[in-house]
Amino acid sequence: MAVQAVGKYVGISPQKTRWVIDQVRGMNAQQALAVLRHMPQSAAREVAKVVASALANADENEGLAKEDMYIAAITADGAPLRRWRRFGARGRFKPIIRRSSHITVVLDEQQGD
């Protein structure tokens, strides 16, 4: 049975987040949390929160064992942009675009023998 969790409006760009989620795609969920805990990227903390939330959903809502869950699908999609402005020399305008992302994690139960 598939269980999912979504982290919305995370203040890190999808490009940076995708680098982190590519490292844990297909892993056992608890093993992925251990890997994410030791990664230096700031996106790893946000991805770990969403994976932990999906594990909690599987345990509390569906009654599934945490040990049997693996990451079936994980994506980082673009969220709304925040546009900032910085003023440059000679009356010019330097736009700054702050990107954010939506992180989706789908956990599934491993078929054990």
Is the confidence at residue 112, as pLDDT, over 70? no
Q: Give the mean pLDDT of the chain.
A: 94
List the domains of the chain with CATH numbers. 3-109 (3.90.470.10)
Is the confidence at residue 98, as pLDDT, over 90? yes
C-alpha dihedral sign at 40, 49, 10, 101: positive
Confidence at residue 41, expressed as pLDDT on a 0 to 100 scale:
96
Of the pLDDT bands very low, low, confident and very high (cuts 50, 70, 90), residue 111 is confident
Average pLDDT for residues 95-99, to the nearest whole number? Answer: 94
Rg of the Cα trace of the chain? Answer: 17
Confidence at residue 1, expressed as pLDDT on a 0 to 100 scale:
82
Of the pLDDT bands very low, low, confident and very high (cuts 50, 70, 90), residue 14 is very high
Quote the CA–CA distance of 101 and 9 in Å, as a whole number: 6
Residues 90-107: b if buried by 16+ CB within 10 A, e if exposed = eeeeeeeeebbbbbbbeb
